[in-house]
Amino acid sequence: MANSMGINYGQIADNLPSPEDVVPIVKSIGATKVKLYDADPKVLKAFANTGVEFIVGLGNEYLDKMRDTAKAQAWVKQNVQSHLPATKITCIFVGNEVLTFNDTSLSNSLLPAMQSVHTALVNLGLDKQVTVTTAHSLSILETSYPPSSGAFREDLVDCLSETLSFHQKTGSPFLINAYPFFAYKGNPKQVPLDFVLFQPNQGVIDPATNLHYDNMLYAQIDAVYNALASLGYKKLPVHISETGWPSKGDEDEVGATADNAKKYNGNLIKLMSKKTGTPMRPNSDLNIYVFALFNENMKPGPTSERNYGLFKPDGTPAYSLGISSTSNVAGSNTTTGGTNGKPLSPIPTPPSTPTSSSTGYLSISPATVSFW
């Protein structure tokens, strides 16, 4: 087991510290991996020789252009190869939540762009150290509860199957953005707050597997594992490319408070240090990237969009993470069965994600996913 914390470093703001000043901030929270939404050369240079691993991004606006291998190779040369090996770029994610924009031209460009970028890496002799993937919204799932019934949306299965085959052939991870916050915000009277915040609670039992879940994120991850397994991709690694909780929101954004953000992110970081996986995959690494490093003041949308940061732009914590102790956190118990959990009543879960940092678009979520 080698759980390590990742952090999303979005920059839709006009008041963030210089990349050089961000290096100690990243190290202060114990993050060893950073995900960018572009390939900002100033950031990549600032983190040279720090040992921090990077995922760099190609925004949705690049997909059509990247279908051309020559253009993809020029981009990789300039934005990836030029920073290696000093900066540890290990992955390129091509497009963010593309399949849930309901944009056919975008969806049709996704796999060709991924293949083109991979071919560029092969041509440059970098494919063994840099993988190619894309990040998906949890709303690619048709069902997510109970986790054993996790399944992809029928209309996306053909497109996803081709992408999954690419992952398997190239050894790249499957990235998913998962936000229990939206499940709670959508149904605060039915979704137990402690269950989404990793606080002690009686949890739920998946009736098909008898596995006990005491937090929603692990249930969502296992739903993704089951959806992958149902298409024949049982061994594909799943990374949580975004998850987080806002410390402030509009009046109708129930649960968006500093206290809840502290519990969610603080407990999540403690859990990751425990070196355990999910109930269904207790021995698999948890690769989780917290969203986000900073509050970003220029993001569109509701107030919560500008308040996902662990830090304020001046480098001070947005709230205390309280990660010095590891006691009293749900999620460390991955035992099966028992009477300490019970199935919950049906709860509709809108599995959307915050505005993409790469494009500023709002995610479009389909019909709600049933929660038991």
CATH (domain of 185): 3.20.20.80
| pLDDT exceeds 90 at position 102 | no
Residue 333 lies in a domain: no
Mean of pLDDT values over 115-120: 98
Residue 54 pairs in a beta bridge with: 34, 89
| Residue 272: band (very low, low, confident or very high) from pLDDT cuts 50, 70, 90 | confident
| pLDDT exceeds 50 at position 131 | yes
Mean of pLDDT values over 86-100: 97
In angstroms, the Cα distances linking 101 to 38, 107, 133 are: 19, 8, 17
% of the chain beyond a pLDDT of 70: 86
Asked whether 196 and 181 are in contact (CB, 8 A), the reply is yes
pTM strictly above 0.85:
yes
Residue 365, pLDDT score = 31
| Residue 360: band (very low, low, confident or very high) from pLDDT cuts 50, 70, 90 | very low
Residue 287 lies in a domain: yes
Residue 327, pLDDT score = 33
Average pLDDT, the chain: 87
Residue 363 lies in a domain: no
Q: Is 242 a catalytic residue?
A: yes
In angstroms, the Cα distances linking 48 to 51, 100, 181 are: 8, 35, 34
Q: Is 305 a catalytic residue?
A: no
Residue of 97, 142, 296, 305 marked active site: 97
Mean of pLDDT values over 173-181: 97
| DSSP string over 159-187 | HHHHHHHHHHHHTPPEEEE--HHHHHHH-
Of residues 233, 236, 260, the one with CA closest to residue 248: 260
Mean of pLDDT values over 96-113: 94
Residue 3, pLDDT score = 63
| pLDDT exceeds 60 at position 246 | yes
Residue 112 lies in a domain: yes
Residue 250, pLDDT score = 96
Residue 275, pLDDT score = 76
Residue 349 lies in a domain: no
Tens-digit pLDDT profile for residues 282-338:
988 889 999 999 999 999 999 999 999 999 999 999 998 876 433 334 444 333 333
Residue 228 lies in a domain: yes
Domain membership of residue 220 as a residue range? 5-311
In degrees rounded to 5, what are phi and psi of residue 348?
-70, 135
Q: How many domains does the chain have?
A: 1
Residue of 53, 142, 242, 305 marked active site: 242
Read off the tokens for 29. Answer: 């929270």
Residue 80, pLDDT score = 98
Residue 326 lies in a domain: no
